[in-house]
C-alpha cells in the first residue's frame, strides 16, 4: 500500500520527476497519468525568503507564502464536495445563522429534490458571495467535519486550509 499526501508535499516538486519516481515504485501508467492530471494546473503554495534590507550586516528575513483564498479552495474542492458533502441541513442552518444565506435561499435549497443539486446550489451561492462567505463555509465545514465530511480524505482536505485563529470562536451547530 502506498499513501500519498497531496496537501502540501508536492508544492515544489517537478511533476515529471514525481511521475517517473512513482512509475519506478511500480504504479501503473494509468494511475500515474491520473495523478499527473490531478496535480497539473493546481495552485501551488510556495514559501520564499524576502530580504527587506540591503545592509549586509543586518539582513532581515521574513517568510511569505502565496496561498489559496477560501474561494479558490472551494472551487478546487467542488467536485469532491458535491459527491461527498453530508448533513446539508446542518450546513444550511449554520450558513443561515451566520447570515451567509437568506431565508429565500434556504427555501430554494430545501426545495431541491436531489442532494447533489442542493450541494451545487449551496456552493454556487456561497461562491458568488465572495471570499468572506467562502471562509464562513470552510469554517463551518471544519467545525462540523465529523458530521458533514463523510470520509477521511475530505476531513484531511479541510484541515489543510490555513484558518486564521479566531479569539471569539463563534458558536456553530455541530449536530449529533
* pTM of the predicted model over 0.85: no
Measured between its terminal Cα atoms, the distance across the chain in Å is 34
- Alpha-carbon distance of 166 to 16, in angstroms, equals 40
Same-domain pairing of 56 and 87: no
Regarding whether 37 and 90 lie in a shared domain, the answer is no
DSSP-derived pairing of the beta strands 61-66 and 46-51: antiparallel
Q: What is the pLDDT of residue 67?
A: 63
> 449529533: which residue's cell?
176
Residue 41 sits in the same domain as residue 80: no
Grid cell, residue 164, equals 486564521
- Separation between Cα atoms, residue 70 and residue 24, nearest integer Å: 36
Residues 25, 11, single domain; the answer is yes
How far lies 121's CA from each of 15, 50, 168, 170, in Å?
34, 42, 29, 25
Of 47, 67, 87, which one is at a domain's C-terminal end? 67
Within this chain, do residues 63 and 109 fall inside the same structural domain, yes or no? no
59 and 100: one domain? no
Residues 149-163: pLDDT tens digits? 888 888 888 888 877
123 assigned to some structural domain: yes
pLDDT in tens, 115-140: 999 999 999 999 999 999 999 999 99
For all residues of the chain together, what is the average pLDDT? Answer: 76
Q: Are residues 82 and 56 in the same domain?
A: no
- Same-domain check for residues 48 and 79: no
Each residue's pLDDT, cut to its tens digit, for the chain (176 residues) gives: 566 655 555 555 667 777 788 888 888 888 877 777 777 666 554 333 333 334 333 322 222 233 678 899 899 889 889 989 999 999 999 999 999 999 999 999 999 999 999 999 999 999 999 999 999 999 999 999 999 988 888 888 888 887 776 544 555 555 55
Domain count for the chain, please give it. 2
Last residue of one domain, picked from the residues 14, 42, 67: 67
* Shared-domain flag, residues 145 and 75: yes
Quick one: 99 and 149 in the same domain? yes
What is the domain extent for residue 23?
A: 1-67
**Position 25 in a domain:** yes
Shared domain check, 46 and 17: yes
Residues 51 and 23 in one domain: yes
* Complete DSSP assignment for 31-71: HHHHHHHHHTT----EEEEEE----TT---EEEEEE---HH
Residue 164 is assigned to a structural domain of this protein: no
Looking up residue 116, the CATH number of its domain turns out to be: 1.10.533.10
Q: Is 74 helix (H, G, I), strand (E, B) or coil?
A: helix
What is the rounded CA–CA span in Å between residue 37 and residue 176?
A: 38
> What dihedral do alpha carbons 126, 128, 130, 131 form, nearest 10°?
50
* Domain finish residue from 21, 46, 67: 67
Amino acid at each position: 500500500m502506498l499513501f500519498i499526501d497531496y496537501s502540501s508535499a508536492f508544492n515544489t516538486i517537478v511533476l515529471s520527476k514525481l511521475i517517473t519516481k512513482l512509475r519506478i515504485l511500480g504504479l501503473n501508467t494509468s494511475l500515474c497519468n491520473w495523478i499527473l492530471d490531478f496535480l497539473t494546473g493546481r495552485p501551488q503554495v510556495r514559501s520564499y525568503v524576502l530580504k527587506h534590507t540591503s545592509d549586509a550586516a543586518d539582513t532581515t528575513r521574513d517568510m511569505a507564502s502565496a496561498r489559496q483564498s477560501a474561494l479558490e479552495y472551494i472551487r478546487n474542492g467542488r467536485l469532491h464536495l458535491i459527491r461527498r458533502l453530508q448533513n446539508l441541513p446542518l450546513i444550511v442552518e449554520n450558513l443561515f445563522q451566520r447570515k451567509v444565506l437568506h431565508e429565500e435561499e434556504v427555501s430554494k435549497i430545501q426545495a431541491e429534490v436531489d442532494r447533489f443539486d442542493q450541494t451545487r446550489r449551496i456552493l454556487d451561492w456561497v461562491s458568488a458571495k465572495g471570499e468572506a462567505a467562502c471562509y464562513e463555509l470552510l469554517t463551518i465545514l471544519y467545525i462540523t467535519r465529523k458530521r458533514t465530511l463523510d470520509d477521511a480524505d475530505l476531513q484531511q482536505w479541510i484541515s489543510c486550509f490555513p484558518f486564521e485563529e479566531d479569539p471569539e470562536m463563534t458558536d456553530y451547530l455541530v449536530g449529533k
